[in-house]
Chain A
Amino acid sequence: MKVYVPCDSAALSVGADAVAVAITNAASSKGLDITVVRNGSRGMLWLEPLVEVETLSGRVGYSNVSVADVSALIDSGMLDGAQLPSSIGIVDEHEWLTRQNRVTFARVGISDPQCISDYESLGGWAGLRKALSMTSDAVVAEVTESGLRGRGGAGFPAGIKWKTVLNAVAEQKYICCNADEGDSGTFADRMLMEGDPFTLIEGTVIAGIAVGATRGYIYIRSEYPHAIAAMNTAIAKATENGFLGDNVDGSGKAFHLEVRVGAGSYVCGEETAMLESLEGKRGTVRTKPPLPALVGLFGKPTVINNVMTLAAVPMVLAQGSAAYQALGHEKSRGTQVFQLAGNIKQGGIVEIDFGITLGDLVDGFGAGTRTGKPIKTVQIGGPLGAYVGTEAWPTPMAYESLAATGAMLGHGGVVVFDDSINMAAQARFAMEFCAEESCGKCTPCRIGSTRGVEVIDRIVSGDEQSKNLELLEDLCEVMTDGSLCAMGGLTPLPVLSALKLFPADFNIVSGGK
């Protein structure tokens, strides 16, 4: 009989390793024959460690299992799927999952992520095999027609980027997967790399085959040691099994893939800074043009895609562009892997068609705050995203509809705060973070962020408030218009949205401005 205990690092952070050991030991001391499988996480993170037991009617889940509970749970019939206080029923029938549309995350949490035969039996490599049977142009056309857009935040159509690289003439081209998922409140890339690494490998190989690139790199931040280990192991297995190397799946086409590790720099998630870092240099931002698609890594044509973009590709190829195109909202096609985070009762991965409202995500899936206090604000799209209040609940979560409200989707992270949060502190932190992480290339970002902290402090302390408010707005305008990348360019977004929505937190005296 199989018992599943997640190996995802979020589950590990609440004791999953020790629980797995305890279950193995308890079962053996009771003479029970079980196999403990370390699966990825289902993404219902508030239930971790979520132990699942295989039964005839499906996998029964037990939530928040601790080492101290294990023996009693087994004595009470957990291994037979008994109904116990901590049981959540058949996991696949859990409303939180049945309401979702898991496309990219279809396999995450189902089996041992490092089992390459499980991967194949769950539909893996079908997209690659399809792509290998097609011409490069046809693969790129398929991706273009699917409507797949870059999931890193900018939302640029993946197929158009690929087409540019395909048409570029060069003796070497590259695929660079951006796994520098530094935005607070985002963890989908990490969970996919830990929970279904072969999907990312497959998507990256397809990109390489499509555009004629024979080398690829996955740039993973150093804060993700488990994802780094998972990708390295999976790459070795994929190479052993002929899905990477000089002869991909017997096609005669070559694709080599390596992991590169960052070193604690947020700005390296910006694509040109990432290229610099991949070249072993300081992660300073490059000017564009030239586009990385034409002059990218080592000056060669390069596809740079986010983990979520590349991980969506196998399904697009396997099931056809029409199936993917059929999902979504307006110009945002397919599904988005939302990440519900922060002070939220039911946080985790919600993969669903674009277009779900913010309110449905936060109240429907999230069930409000963990502390039980009222929600004050949510920040969408990471540290450079806007703070919005509950008046934004009806907004459909999609690229254009969010942009129309002055917010942005970013990498799909939604961070919830209760009413104990002080928004002046959040605005100040946004500037502080920018000062800490700026690469230093653009003066408004490098110096403006430090000045921003000081100006916010003066506003809060009531020092020449109206003059300083004007100065802050002026400073934000200079940062927005005078920075090459989103670091300096978007830091004003959380700052000004916090100020606009919650002036009282800045001690703004009415009539002050």
Chain B
Amino acid sequence: MQAIFLAIIGLSLIFIGYRFYSKFIAEKIYQLDPNFETPAHSMRDDVDYVPTNRVVLWGHHFTAVAGAAPIIGPAIAVIWGWLPAFLWVTIGTMFFAGVHDFGAVWASVRNRAKSVGSLTGDVVSPRARNLFMVVVFFLLMMVNAVFGVAISTEFQATPSSVIPAWTAVVVAIGIGILIYRMHIPILWPTVAGTIILYAVIYLGELVPISLADGTLGLPAGAQWIIILFVYAGIASLLPVWLLLQPRDYINGIQLFVGLGLLYGAVMIANPPVVAPAINPNVPASAPPIIPLLFVTIACGAISGFHGLVGSGTTSKQLNKETDARFVGYLGSVGEGALALVAIIAATAGFASLGEWEEMYSEFGNGGVGAFVSGGATIVSRGVGISYEFAATLLTVMAVLFAGTTMDAGVRLQRYIIQEWGSIYNIPVLQNGYVATLAAVTSCLILAFGAGGPSGEGGMLIWPLFGTTNQLLAGLTLLVISVMLVKLGRPARYTLIPMIFITGMALAAALLQLSTLYAAGRWALLGIDVVIVLLAILTGLEATSAFMRERKASTAGANA
């Protein structure tokens, strides 16, 4: 099997999903109306609510949802062979993620651009709203911890990426100041910033940076994790215009450049897929494929996080209701394309099956490392740059995606803690610095609690993160389904994915209870117990919401 076929078949499938299935959903199920006045018009304030060009809106929706997760998940999950990951990413994007992301935008637009969280309170129950908030907090804590561990691992594996990755922070601050304070038009800072960013990759190769083990009595990995969280804590307190906004923008550019580069290189180099379609020699440490595949690949197949973005900024800026299909469904198509190229890199970028099996000798060994080494081999052969340069470039790309998620994640955790402080009347938690400290500490406890003093085993959090993400997706699909039932339309197109994904999440959480107990991972076991409870509560909320709606519709029919 040549990689080019995987790329073409995969891209064609998800595009067919967009062309036909999303059209059907748009016309028959969500019944989009081009004349419906969207919140961007009806509540226009030129601050939050602004009608925006759909291509631009798609661009920032896509770049907001696509990050390191659709790279890491698929690059871990190919341990079971390329076929299961390939099928879940393509089918997941077509029938799960597309409908979910598109639905979240639609549901929010139809409800004065409210977020899925507050819609859960309105449509399902106030209890479900609290449940939603707890799930989001856990999700953020896990994503921050796991990305901290992933970046630390990458800094140690590719020391040449350290300087370029930190330079990106300086470049972002520079762009922020030039645009916001000096009012310089965006084009030149963009061009200069991009040139500096890629030029520093050479510098990184000349001056690789490794931390010495033993400083403060800590291994290098642990030092990096602490540095990263100190950084994330400070970065999350800085004004949005100074760091987060330009950093996000740089990442957007990197995403498009990276995708173009990887797909271009696959088309030119056309390497053979060395990994087996279904791996007959799965290492003993790997958990069973069902249900773990469906939580290991969350982003790239379906991810609850997208609903937060879709119903957060995107729905407030949608110009026409019919644009929801282009922005929401095509946004998940973009993410599916990124996950697909991660699968190709992690299965076709190795010289032989033996080399691939060595990389995948243990569950969780793949991830960014496999993506970088496989992707760099393909890019260096396809585009003709050196392997080292390509590896640094891809590492920097993945590190920047993960780093920005950490900045934003710690910031969101702080908001939630501050909100809890105000709900439960605890003034100290309302203080920004205290809330940030609490957020960062919770992530550090998780990262070290899971990974031990060196943070090495921290990637064990990954399946738990995926499980929580899928629970969130289940809650969003529940909101959409209840809305459809209320409107008297068929709900099976969102209900079946909801039942499937919540069921898989619950099964995965239950299965991990015994594995974590056997391994003596107590911190993770505690979190898993909470996840199991959350999954059961989600199921109960769903059942009670549907019973209520059914009763209401029967009563309506009898009357």
Asked if A pairs with B, the answer is: no
Taking Cβ atoms with an 8 Å cutoff, the residues of A that contact B are none
